[in-house]
Amino acid sequence: MKLDILPIGQYEENVYVLHDKGHVLIIDPGRSAKTIASVIAPDETVDAVILTHGHADHTQAADDISEMYHCPVYMNREDYILVDPSFAGKHGFDGPVYSEILDLQAVMKIGVFDLQIHYTPGHTAGSVCVQYKNLLFSGDTLFAGSIGRTDLYSGDETQMAQSLEYLKKLPHDLKVLPGHGPSSTIGTEIKRNPFMIY
């Protein structure tokens, strides 16, 4: 298994390119499909794009990647409105995705990847954390030492608090790979993140 982390764009959103057994998942391709493609070998198969939520800094290269690799795009249906071309751009920090979008399930297999999808609303109504083995791609739900905003469209402070309580129950050695900033672990965040402590 190999993981490429590419901080891209104005907000340095972390694009994650996960490789395993000749297959690839791309998580939150915010921008620059060419940069993302540069870390994918010609003989690798891209199984899917997964979006942790619908904000444009996490989605803007989804169409290009889907077209380049003929792969599906997945996200939680609660955030479809943020990427629906009929509405996108009207809620702040959202933008259209024209590719067909498939809904994420709590437990699913995409290519060779056995995934657990943790529903963690709060930053947006459809925010999720994606778990593969000992990795947790937390989007903008949980950062090292902080959490995502709850004051944007479909954000909810109460839901965020409930999602953080849920995340506390996950294995403490689970590696947290957030949408912005450095990595951490669940255990570290329980001890040091003020939003997880209180």
| Separation in Å, CA 103 to CA 40, 71, 119, 152 | 25, 14, 12, 22
- Note down pLDDT in tens along the chain; length 198 residues: 999 999 997 778 999 999 999 999 999 999 999 999 999 999 999 999 999 999 999 999 999 999 999 999 999 999 999 999 988 677 878 889 999 999 999 999 999 999 999 999 999 999 999 999 999 999 999 999 999 999 999 999 999 999 999 999 999 999 999 999 999 999 999 999 999 987
Measured from the Cβ of residue 124, the count of other Cβ atoms closer than 10 Å reads 32
What's the number of domains the chain is made of?
1
Whether 15 contacts 8, CB under 8 Å: yes
The rounded distance, in Å, linking the Cα atoms of 104 and 76 is 5
The rounded distance, in Å, linking the Cα atoms of 98 and 157 is 30
pLDDT at 9: 77
Q: 131 is written with which tokens?
A: 């778990």
CATH number of the domain enclosing 143: 3.60.15.10
For residue 139, the enclosing domain spans 2-197
